[in-house]
Structure 1
């Protein structure tokens, strides 16, 4: 229940903020262009808050937080008096109408830059992209890259962090070859061409790193207990933090992985645990629990492992001053924009399956998970969704900002507006396509959680 409330709360905050920013872009440029704004609404449906400003505009927060709109005076839908023609949207020069509509997506991109800039200014200890265990006979194993190598470049793009590695690998989905460069533990660099025949990446089943055949480097997990699950078999039996597991049913335990494998195979079975506490060897009997996994039921003991200290050479503090942060934030936002366009293209070509399309449920989960990781992760999530919102709104579908911009461009070139009958047909087609897109995304979301 807590997880659902957390996800829903983070989703409402994220979507409400991004919608407000997007609509504020339309609003502020409309005001600058002299257009009268009748209503600024965040959300749809019944208003839960309403205020009339000094200019006569209604500011509304509505009950359904799945969008918003800025309603301007428009002679196509309103009765406009002669004295109000000058402040009506439809009577503005085409360049003004273009600017007003483009301001929504534009402010989303600017907002992403500012958020990314803030993240760089705050700074955080960030792991360097050192390669962990490599799976035998995998795509990356065939290149000759080794555990302990560090990614420094993928197809000419610098990769300082795992986030940048993830972005560059995502951009190569559907490609036959992924060029990359690493730096060896000896300090020498090596470049490889990773051949990707029949690369079948399913983000619902594994990370992109796992699909290529390696794990992210992490310090070794120890067989020393760092924490216990409340009311778990381990806690009920009296095990405590800092206890070191030595044997299970007389089997000598070498590492944490061995504990996982042993416990997983013995759901609901009795186990004798030998452990060290303050240098003294002790014994306790307990009955393992069980938990459901995609592969069926597995045993559960309810302990978390400690891990070795992260080597100082394997992380850095990713922090910069305001100007450098602005430059880095702009670069990162641009890369997210180009990646989003690339991924949309891969949807069209079939390199990315339609089943990977995400809807509001997945966005809510992403918002909740990122919020649980802290402010930096949540801000990064906001920047990503803001970029996606901007790009999606620029698609040339008549129901979106991009569709209006398409009509304005035609008007700019021909010198006359697109006939209203043609626009109406376009709006209907665009509406149907958007509904199909949303239904597909929600259907995918439901499949992921069932």
Structure 2
């Protein structure tokens, strides 16, 4: 009953969560499917439907090429359906393919070469990465970046920083060879390297010193009450006006920073996955649609720019997730195409069907697990 009560409490602010959630998810899904769509059209594939959401159609229209553009009732994803597909997952309709004329087959997805099919499938995740780069770049170009000097103000007694020999007034220049330009850069590197020895280059009194610090894993509560397990050194920043400035960027610089920000999300994701297998990270951090809705509502209170920034992060995550070699996902299709390219012929229909069944089971289990995590997370708030 307590869980039901918590979910009911969560549902009282539905508009505050649902509207930002739908905005973020629709933006990310639209560009993912647009990537598939544009490359498919370029390769000469007939596209039967472009849908945002699943299930019954709410509203839609046909373009001059015969593609049905529509918004469907269940707004938790989307799909592009090609000529010759049996379903939204691009499973081949084998009976329809056998009955096709040669001309029809040439305009079907499965009538294309393995390289064209791979390009069409890969275009979705690539579009997600490009969307993230554009969003990050636009934010850097329009708003710049507030930079606080990586100068140590105070060192917590007994902390990793004290044990490493860091002192008040030290300026951190680099960590493990990565240049540190701001206190935010320092926090990012440290937060994802809990329990890992780091080589820290500091400037003290005009001299450069090399220290070794091992961030301690701590539970940190953000402004919304969410608990995160991150690495910490135990230092605070100097918030004086002399140590804070707003840095402006040209468009090329902003694009480069947007690409670097996108890579940071990718690198952080792989670090987390590696930490799961090594036992350093907890599966409690895995969340599903409920968590995304919750975070979207929370971030929306900070403003539109923060919400769009979240969309960029989510876009990278969805693009990366889709590249995992799991049948049903884009990465699973690419895995099959790689095997086909090596063998000179596709896997048998039976092998592919078994693969899709395994992939479906894996995706469903992941959804159940993350949803359960979300419910547990809600009850802890």
Tell me, yes or no, if the aligned pair for 2:137 and 2:258 is still in contact at 8 Å. yes
Q: Counterparts of 1:409-424 in structure 2 under 5 Å?
A: 409-424=338-353
- C-alpha deviation, 1:86, in angstroms: 0.7
- C-alpha deviation, 1:87, in angstroms: 0.4
* Cα distance change on mapping 1:333 and 1:135 into 2, 3 Å: same
Matched, 1:89 2:18: no
- CA separation in 2, counterparts of 1:149 and 1:47? 61
- C-alpha deviation, 1:176, in angstroms: 3.4
Tell me, yes or no, if the aligned pair for 1:341 and 1:391 is still in contact at 8 Å. no
Q: Where in structure 2 are there 5+ consecutive unaligned residues?
A: 1-10, 86-91
Matched, 1:397 2:317: no
The equivalent residue for 2:237 is 217
- 1:321 aligned to which of 250, 262, 265: 250
- CA separation in 1, counterparts of 2:359 and 2:111? 25
The equivalent residue for 2:161 is 140
The equivalent residue for 1:299 is none
The equivalent residue for 2:374 is 445
Tell me, yes or no, if the aligned pair for 1:25 and 1:104 is still in contact at 8 Å. yes
- C-alpha deviation, 1:23, in angstroms: 0.4
Classify the secondary structure of the residue corresponding to 1:152: strand
Tell me, yes or no, if the aligned pair for 1:166 and 1:208 is still in contact at 8 Å. no
After superposition, the C-alpha distances for 1:75-132 in whole angstroms (9 at most, x for unaligned) are 6317253131110111100000000000000111111111111111011433334445
The equivalent residue for 2:30 is 20
* Cα distance change on mapping 1:74 and 1:132 into 2, 3 Å: farther
Tell me, yes or no, if the aligned pair for 2:128 and 2:316 is still in contact at 8 Å. yes
Tell me, yes or no, if the aligned pair for 1:347 and 1:353 is still in contact at 8 Å. yes
Q: Counterparts of 1:276-425 in structure 2 under 5 Å?
A: 311-425=240-354
- CA separation in 1, counterparts of 2:305 and 2:160? 32
- 2:202 aligned to which of 176, 179, 182: 182
* Cα distance change on mapping 1:376 and 1:337 into 2, 3 Å: same
Matched, 1:167 2:188: yes
Q: Counterparts of 1:188-267 in structure 2 under 5 Å?
A: 188-195=207-214, 199-202=216-219, 212-214=232-234, 216-217=236-237, 219=239
TM-score where L is the length of structure 2? 0.85
Classify the secondary structure of the residue corresponding to 2:200: strand
- C-alpha deviation, 1:178, in angstroms: 2.1
Larger Rg, first or second structure (1 or 2)? 1
* Cα distance change on mapping 1:419 and 1:329 into 2, 3 Å: same
After superposition, the C-alpha distances for 1:417-442 in whole angstroms (9 at most, x for unaligned) are 01111111111111111122122212
After superposition, the C-alpha distances for 1:241-291 in whole angstroms (9 at most, x for unaligned) are xxxxxxxxxxxxxxxxxxxxxxxxxxxxxxxxxxxxxxxxxxxxxxxxxxx
After superposition, the C-alpha distances for 1:395-446 in whole angstroms (9 at most, x for unaligned) are 0000110000000000011101011111111111111111221222122221
- C-alpha deviation, 1:203, in angstroms: 5.6
Tell me, yes or no, if the aligned pair for 1:131 and 1:150 is still in contact at 8 Å. yes
Question: Mean alpha-carbon deviation: is it higher for 390-399 or for 427-436?
Answer: 427-436
After superposition, the C-alpha distances for 1:125-150 in whole angstroms (9 at most, x for unaligned) are 33334445433212222112134444
Tell me, yes or no, if the aligned pair for 2:58 and 2:70 is still in contact at 8 Å. yes
- CA separation in 2, counterparts of 1:159 and 1:2? 43
- C-alpha deviation, 1:208, in angstroms: 5.8
- CA separation in 2, counterparts of 1:215 and 1:369? 27
Classify the secondary structure of the residue corresponding to 2:61: strand
Classify the secondary structure of the residue corresponding to 1:136: coil
- C-alpha deviation, 1:372, in angstroms: 2.1
The equivalent residue for 2:46 is 36
Classify the secondary structure of the residue corresponding to 2:23: helix
* Cα distance change on mapping 1:129 and 1:448 into 2, 3 Å: farther
* Cα distance change on mapping 1:118 and 1:70 into 2, 3 Å: same
Higher helix share: 2
- C-alpha deviation, 1:351, in angstroms: 1.8
Q: C-alpha root-mean-square deviation of aligned residues, in Å?
A: 2.4
Matched, 1:103 2:110: no
Count of residues in correspondence between the two structures: 354
- C-alpha deviation, 1:392, in angstroms: 0.5
Q: Where in structure 1 are there 5+ consecutive unaligned residues?
A: 220-310
